[in-house]
Amino acid sequence: MAEKHFVPKADREYTKADFTSDQMVKWCPGCGDHAILAALLNTFPKTNHKKENICMVSGIGCSSRIPYYVDTYGFHSIHGRACAIATGVKLANPALSVWVSMGDGDSMAIGGNHLIHAVRRNQDFNITIFNNEIYGLTKGQYSPTTKFGQVTKTSPYGTIDYPFNPGELVMGAQGTFYARALDCLPQLTTDIMTRAAKHDGTSVVEVLQNCMIFNDKTHAAITDRAVRDDRTIILEDGKPMIFGKEKNKGLRFNGRCLEAVTIGENGITMDDIMIHHEDTEDTGIHMMLARMSGDLPVAIGVIRNVKKTSYTQLYEDQMEEQMANGKYKCVDDLLNSGDTWEI
């Protein structure tokens, strides 16, 4: 069936100011959440969705306060349940552009079940995961993404929990859109979110975000200006996977795994460098890219973006078909259906 777009288009051009709420933003000064909020406010005008039809849904945690700071409809719900609530919002009214915001604990610990099932269904809404690898609002306990061995308030001798990699989780759940952004690259984050909005299906954008108070510099090993270009790679669809300050490093597949190579060294040329294809249906390479760390640069950008008919479309198609051709047109028909008799 033909692809449909359910969200009405805006009748005028919006700016960031149209989406900025009058509420005082109460995040800590310097928190990465401010940058994500700004990216989101910059994204909404670009989606060209009617303002009244945008609905923010969040769970619990610092990041989940975001609906108050955005002048749209918003639902600040309960811990872990944002995806479940968003599912109902979108099912009840597919004309809404639904945006879910969650932290790492919210989305992958208490709400892990809802996240994987939302991703599996591929309903048409957008998920942003603020990943600061810590529980911030409860003041510094380890989360499902805290680095192994890290000392936190609830792991005084170091964590012995192996962390989740959100990208792997999303792709393991058959996700159709997964991207990774950095709070310190707001323009890139906006671009990624804009692409997420255009994706028909569930999009997941993980933003590596800094918590100054309880997990400061947790991403510094890749985000510090001094190392960022060498420790990260910004993936672009159809382009070679090049990174590094000098743009002379690249990724190649050596038959067993990905490896970082330097162009011009050991006979390596541009022809050896892999080209990024977001739309490869098989998750294999995308998984490898999402997993890169250590000797390999951390992948930033849209890692996976494949077409798969969304749950929203499948649901609306069934509704339309049944409402047009179903047996009963009204409840009176149903009440009088089958065996009935007069007394």
Indicate whether 84 belongs to the interface with another protein (CB under 8 A): yes
SS3 299: strand
Quickly count: other Cβ atoms within 10 Å of residue 58's Cβ: 28
Nearest Cα residue to 74 out of 45, 97, 46: 97
Site string for another protein, 265-304 (x = CB under 8 A): ----------------------------------------
When the beta carbons of 168 and 316 are compared against another protein, the nearer one is 316
Judged by CB under 8 A, the residue of 17, 254, 282, 341 near another protein is 341
Judged by CB under 8 A, the residue of 49, 114, 228, 231 near another protein is 114
Indicate whether 17 belongs to the interface with another protein (CB under 8 A): no
**Minimum CB distance to another protein, residue 196 (Å):** 20
Residue 77 CB burial class (10 angstroms; 0-12, 13-18, ≥19): buried
SS3 314: helix
Indicate whether 109 belongs to the interface with another protein (CB under 8 A): no
H or E segment and range at residue 104: helix 104-105
The piece of 30-38, 69-77, 220-228, 268-276 that touches another protein (CB under 8 A) is 69-77
When the beta carbons of 67 and 297 are compared against another protein, the nearer one is 67
Q: How many residues form the binding site for another protein (CB under 8 A)?
A: 57
CA distance 241 to 272: 10
User: Which residues, numbered 24-63, are part of the site for another protein (CB under 8 A)?
Assistant: 51-55, 57, 60
The piece of 147-155, 171-179, 191-199, 313-321 that touches another protein (CB under 8 A) is 313-321
> Which residues, 6 or more positions from 115, have their beta carbon under 8 angstroms from its beta carbon?
83, 102, 107, 108, 127, 169, 173
Judged by CB under 8 A, the residue of 25, 38, 91, 137 near another protein is 91
Indicate whether 332 belongs to the interface with another protein (CB under 8 A): yes
Indicate whether 329 belongs to the interface with another protein (CB under 8 A): yes
Sequence-ordered strand ranges (E) for 96-199: 97-103, 126-131, 177-182
Q: What angle do CA 68, 72, 73 make, to 5 degrees?
A: 85
Question: Beta partners for 141?
Answer: 135
Nearest Cα residue to 298 out of 310, 308, 288: 288
> Which residues, 6 or more positions from 5, have their beta carbon under 8 angstroms from its beta carbon?
none
**Minimum CB distance to another protein, residue 125 (Å):** 11
**Minimum CB distance to another protein, residue 312 (Å):** 12
Judged by CB under 8 A, the residue of 76, 147, 198, 291 near another protein is 76
When the beta carbons of 113 and 154 are compared against another protein, the nearer one is 113
Judged by CB under 8 A, the residue of 63, 77, 202, 310 near another protein is 77
- Strand bridging mode 258-262 / 249-253: antiparallel
